[in-house]
Structure 1
Amino acid sequence: MTGPVTYQVEDGIAVIMVENPPVNALSAAVRGGLKEAAERAGADPAVAGIVLGGRGSTFIAGADITEFGKPPVPPSLNEVIAALEACPKPVVAAIHGAALGGGLEVALGCDARIVGPRAQLGLPEVKLGILPGAGGTQRTPRLIGADKAVALAASGDKVSASDAVAMGLADALEEGDLIAAAKAKVRALAAAPLPPRLNVRDDRLTAPGAREAFEAAAQKLAKRAAEEPQVAAIVQSVRNAFEMPLEQGLAGERAFFTQLRDDPRSLALRHVFFAERAAAHIPGLPRGTQPRKVARVAVLGAGTMGGGISMAFANAGIPVTIIETETAALERGLKRIDGIYATSVKRGSLSAEAHAKRMGLIEGKVGLEAAAGADLVVEAVFEELELKKEIFGKLDSIAPGAILASNTSYLDINAMAAATSRPQDVLGMHFFSPANVMKLLEVVRAEKTSPEALATAVEIGKKLAKVPVVVGVCHGFVGNRMLARRTQQAERLLQEGATPAQVDKALTDFGFRMGPFAMGDLAGLDIGWRIRKATGGSAPVADALCEAGRLGQKTAKGYYDYPEGARAGVESAEVQGIIEGVSQKLGIQRREISQQEIAERLIYPMINEGARILEEGIAARPGDIDVVWLYGYNWPAWRGGPMHHADALGLAHVAERLAAYAAQTGDDSLKPAPLLSKLAAEGGSFAGLKAEAKAA
């Protein structure tokens, strides 16, 4: 056989190997090759059985997602798995790497699964807004039990080789020659009557307590299922395994798959999948650019951000020196870090050994000179440009050869770079709080940042388990620049007649976990107040609350009241009086504002600013903006990010509503951006921009 599936008989055993780089996706050619090979081996009297494996780093990583939405090309994956199950001879999967989604479903069609130490098994379809469509919800419960199966499919998480064996998903872990071990298993199975295959087994489903264990697991997923239709479908499809024979259950699973595949929420999640991977490709980076080696990192500042950044490096096994100007501040920072780790140990999410190891990677020092010898220095001091410029100027000679990165949220990286003699080594690495938890990393490419420095920052971000997105220099970069538009409108909506609760409800109904005012109370209103006073900014309602001593949860009163230390706020008559006073002072006639208008005036200006960001080249792709908002600001993934959401609404609609609100309020910032207006007039989309960039 030629093509992506090879067939070779070795010692009376047919060895079928998939080789379809880069991840052995189940393309039409792979599916056809597997079915043909299985039927060929089954019909050959000289073949005792089959070993099925993959070349490269994966076994079979899953379905070819690029085929979604296109006319189906036979054979289907279900037909391939049926051919494996119909083979009259034993079939053993030799899984050396990832067996995900359709790849695991293929392995479930085999009689046994032997895994290597680097194998990973899972059903990640839930993260794409769908469910396994080739038996994952039907064969898995028959193999490991329905309670474990529904948890596996609903989480989408990968299972390690050892865990796969422990839960019964794999038969054995082989540290040595995996193909040889799989051949031995074939011979053992061929020497005796074949055990019942999963297509006819139901002993796991009829075992005492099996249904009760499943329903208990399903109940835990009920809250998610209310918001995520694919989770509800997974639960019901696994439940069908109790009530239907395999063929009927497979038909039901496929119906769920088709229904979900065409759901707008599924389309959004698939957009996220591709956008995140596209963000990893740095536009304009010369071919062959290699990142520098980073063996030691220095972090300036032991406050909340500096401590979280230091933890991110220690969590990745990278030694870090955390530097402060005073011993007391350093000790407080180190104590805070140790306490966070200790809490994780107490909760069972971190071992005591890992706690000790990570603290051992963090060294505390006083004085900027301690940055000497670092390969990367991350500055996380106060948001004052002159202070940062002074620090970068000193680092120029203290840490020669090191990449100098600022964690600034909005300040000018070019100005910091100009304070050094080597601006090519300067860039931004904007972590999000808490930095040891949040996945987004905005990597800010300054005017003179070298390709090597940029590649290094992106590579380090990946090592830290972050999602790095390269952005350009402007006030607030991508995320905070767009957030400023939402914050501006939230303030103005209060002045015009909305209440904090109405504004927050508009965003939580949209899918955000918290509204802007509840979030402000949690973070502390004095933070923004200090920045506004330092920069000459103004937010009349927010400023009035701070002047009244309402600083948020820390003072038990902010936009909401927090009686007796309550975490959830209640509406406040005092706040309403303050807001109405601000409106009167500004000469604004208050009015009833619909929830639709509130939602549109919070979301559409962000989209508008995203269009400006694209026009200016601050972000390379619309999907990059979406990734920033998904991982930095908890935008609901099933809405795909602000730019994808705009496409789903229709750009003509967004532009028309923005123009109407600009005329209604006299707020020129709401006028549609030139790019948005152009695309709307042409019937275009932001996704179309991405396609054009690819073509170019």
Structure 2
Amino acid sequence: MTLSPLADVVTRELRGKVLLVTIDHAPVNALSADVRRGLLAAIEAADADRAVEAVLIVGAGRNFIAGADIREFGKPPVPPSLPDVCNRIEACAKPVIAALHGAALGGGLEVALAAHYRIAVDGAKLGLPEVQLGLLPGAGGTQRTPRLIGAPAALDLILSGRHASAKEALALGLIDRLGDSGDILAEGLAYAHELLAAHAPVRRTRDAAALNDRAASLAAVAKARDETAKKARGLFSPLKIVDAVEAAIEQPFDEGLKFERKLFLQCLDSPQRAGLVHAFFAEREVLKAPETRDGKPRALEAIGVIGGGTMGAGIAVAVLDAGLPVTMIERDEASLARGRAHIDKVYDGLIAKGRLTAEKKAATMARWSGSTSYDALAHVDLVIEAVFEDLDVKKAVFAELDRVCKPGAVLATNTSYLDIEAIAASISRPADVIGLHFFSPANIMKLLEVVVPKQVSADVVATAFELAKKLRKTPVRAGVCDGFIGNRLLAVYRAAADALMEDGASPYQIDAAVRAFGLPMGPFQVVDLAGGDIGWAARKRRAATRDPNARYVQIADRLCERGWFGQKTGRGFYLYPEGSRGGMPDPEVEAIIDAERKRAGVTPRSFTDEQIMRRYMAAMINEGANVVHEGIALRPLDVDVTLLYGYGFPRYRGGPMKYADSVGLATILADIREFAKEDPLFWRPSPLLVELVERGADFASLNTTA
């Protein structure tokens, strides 16, 4: 007997005594309103039909249920709510079995937890990732999960948002059985019939007993609250998750559900949720560069890396970790040995932490080879140059690559600032040249700026995006200019910080204000970490083209002239005694700052932290608007993703352009015009910002076009 489908996304079919309920809502079986209605109707039908003795819920396609329907985000709720659906599944008078394959995430796992029995096959991923969107599981996830697997395991799963494999889920007790084959329908039906043959009772998760040791459960909550307060500094939802799990221990199930819902709605109303959802969509939207539609990626089977320094070695590790072979080129055997040693150090560190075995390292390094001859690159499909940041040096490298690389090989430069158009024009195949700007440490940082010169072919850009995918990086398309997107903004907001310092704020107050805003480090800590000599070299390179009327703060130059380059020299803006990485304020630096203020004729004044951040963010936002206006960034969201993944901008704020929208562009523009009374050259409002304010529009309105 086949019963009617509901909007074709949930179908019901009687298989013997088992009502097979299939969710078929492409592409990922998200929990749309139609799916929720279909599940509710299926359970109602099962309870009303005497021929049905059990219910089996399965997902068609590649997933069980991948989570909420993101198309409903930000829209008024449509009944039935997911909590109502889950409660009705759990209340069913006949055994309900959830058969899991692919993704069973978020609301998908909550549906499975509401069922009475769960089976999964290998390859299934189970998780509650709501924390990554500034939310908490709001359909019983914080109440059923700890009752089923205990408070410590539930807190770990929900606070991390991570995915558990089917095998781990079985060990935790999230599922009851691991299927032997990959055929989830056959496995689920067999399990359902086995349960019926055994007269298995309805078994509700709300009655599970994993929280019976109240003292141990409360101790786990106390530990999680302490750790979360430190690790999730400034975040709203993680501590609400801890509160909800505590309620599962302290309150009856129905009261716990009400409390969870109250906390869920608080998270839903939080500005952090809006910022995190924006980041979620933006990181997917950046993948849609025009060239990825027009071009087809070239082969990527062998990669070359020029340079074995910190950056070159980090890039090599990222490529090796992706399972690709790497040929590294250095100028002599000693430099090549140092490059190999840099890579060994990364893997040996992982071995020491128990995250890698010596055997796995040996297998990975078997894909590495090194040479002092460019001829060793004759076979590679893509080569990444990571040598000294000097245009003539890079041109010399590319002349060699032009000579030895096969036709169609992609030639990439990892430059942070230099003119890629000039590099491309210096060789016979400019259409093959692209910028791949990695961020240090290259094997860890997720951002990859894909810098697109005018003559590059679309398939080379598509290849760069494909490489980013293989390396598990987040690529952002950028146009060619000094600093591209990220470093161009960095230069401007760093200049704003320098001006604040000369005007009276200490570097230590500025850094503290920036950290309080949510960034992991302040601008002067970043200088010390990266090395003050790097910025010094860039400033000297730009000196000839600097506007003589522009304000130029020389404090950092005074430190560099003394050889104080930051952590690597033991002092910079901060003191680093005996190799310490935690800097201490330096009275000598403050004396140098005072002397520079006198030299510049500046009478110092005090700033509040709020005044510091208004200037810091206005400079960042204004330059972000400029790079969008000039087409260096495709959309404001590309600026947001660059700052989120490359510069530590707090994810819960969504990025600087999203933050600007939340504050109001008219407010930002008013600040810039106020600051321009002191320095009209630096504080020139972006034409795009002015235009948007005049139109009453925001940056979000520009995110729909690529």
Aligned equivalents of 1:380, 1:660: Cα separation in 2: 42
1:452 match: 459
2:95, 2:202 within 8 Å by CA — same for their partners in 1? no
Q: Please list the CA deviations of residues 373-394 of structure 1 after superposition, one character each: whole Å capped at 9, or x if unmatched.
A: 0011111111111222232233
Q: Please list the CA deviations of residues 415-439 of structure 1 after superposition, one character each: whole Å capped at 9, or x if unmatched.
A: 2221232222211111100000000
**2:390 corresponds to 1:375:** no
Match of 2:184 among 155, 178, 182: 178
1:644 match: 658
2:234 match: 227
Q: Please list the CA deviations of residues 172-207 of structure 1 after superposition, one character each: whole Å capped at 9, or x if unmatched.
A: 222412222211211222234444633541411113
1:80 match: 85
Deviation at 1:408? 0.8
Aligned equivalents of 1:668, 1:535: Cα separation in 2: 17
Match of 1:468 among 471, 475, 478: 475
2:158 match: 153
Aligned equivalents of 2:281, 2:535: Cα separation in 1: 35
1:488-507 equivalent positions in 2, closer than 5 A: 488-507=495-514
1:605-616 equivalent positions in 2, closer than 5 A: 605-616=619-630
Q: Please list the CA deviations of residues 626-672 of structure 1 after superposition, one character each: whole Å capped at 9, or x if unmatched.
A: 011000011011111000010011000101101111112x2412121
Aligned equivalents of 1:378, 1:640: Cα separation in 2: 31
Match of 2:699 among 686, 689, 694: 686
SS in 2 for 1:498: coil
Aligned equivalents of 1:126, 1:104: Cα separation in 2: 14
1:655 match: 669
Match of 1:53 among 58, 61, 83: 58
1:560, 1:571 within 8 Å by CA — same for their partners in 2? yes
Deviation at 1:225? 5.3
1:242-391 equivalent positions in 2, closer than 5 A: 242-283=249-290, 285-286=292-293, 289-391=295-397
Aligned equivalents of 1:179, 1:125: Cα separation in 2: 28
Match of 2:639 among 608, 613, 625: 625
2:21, 2:56 within 8 Å by CA — same for their partners in 1? yes
SS in 2 for 1:551: coil
SS in 1 for 2:97: strand
Aligned equivalents of 2:631, 2:134: Cα separation in 1: 31
SS in 1 for 2:141: coil
> Structure 1 residues 316-325 or 78-87, which shifts more?
78-87
2:489 match: 482
> Structure 1 residues 397-406 or 228-237, which shifts more?
397-406
**2:600 corresponds to 1:586:** yes
Tell me the number of residue pairs that the alignment of Structure 1 and Structure 2 aligns: 691
SS in 1 for 2:463: helix
SS in 2 for 1:456: helix
Deviation at 1:407? 0.7
**2:681 corresponds to 1:668:** yes
Q: Please list the CA deviations of residues 290-319 of structure 1 after superposition, one character each: whole Å capped at 9, or x if unmatched.
A: 212201000111000000000001011111
Aligned equivalents of 2:165, 2:19: Cα separation in 1: 27
Structure 1: runs of 5+ lacking an equivalent: none
Deviation at 1:471? 1.3
Q: Please list the CA deviations of residues 513-562 of structure 1 after superposition, one character each: whole Å capped at 9, or x if unmatched.
A: 11111222222222222333344376510111111232222332221223
2:144, 2:206 within 8 Å by CA — same for their partners in 1? no
> Structure 1 residues 329-338 or 243-252, which shifts more?
243-252
1:563 match: 577
Match of 1:20 among 8, 25, 32: 25
1:35-74 equivalent positions in 2, closer than 5 A: 35-74=40-79
2:402 match: 396
1:226, 1:232 within 8 Å by CA — same for their partners in 2? no
Aligned equivalents of 1:442, 1:114: Cα separation in 2: 43
Q: Please list the CA deviations of residues 131-156 of structure 1 after superposition, one character each: whole Å capped at 9, or x if unmatched.
A: 00101101111111111111111100
SS in 1 for 2:475: strand
RMSD, matched Cα: 1.8
SS in 2 for 1:221: helix
Aligned equivalents of 2:578, 2:9: Cα separation in 1: 66
| TM-score, with length taken from structure 2 | 0.95
Aligned equivalents of 1:142, 1:325: Cα separation in 2: 61
Deviation at 1:120? 0.4
SS in 1 for 2:207: coil
**2:134 corresponds to 1:129:** yes
1:426, 1:449 within 8 Å by CA — same for their partners in 2? yes
Classify 1:412/1:494 alpha carbon distance in 2 versus 1 (closer, same or farther; 3 Å): same
Q: Percent identity?
A: 48
SS in 2 for 1:409: coil
2:586 match: 572
Counterpart of 1:324, as a letter, is E
1:127, 1:156 within 8 Å by CA — same for their partners in 2? yes
1:205, 1:211 within 8 Å by CA — same for their partners in 2? no
1:414 match: 421
Counterpart of 1:546, as a letter, is C
1:537-548 equivalent positions in 2, closer than 5 A: 539-548=553-562
Counterpart of 2:557, as a letter, is D
1:48, 1:187 within 8 Å by CA — same for their partners in 2? no
Structure 2: runs of 5+ lacking an equivalent: 547-551
Classify 1:473/1:498 alpha carbon distance in 2 versus 1 (closer, same or farther; 3 Å): same
1:296, 1:319 within 8 Å by CA — same for their partners in 2? yes
2:549 match: none
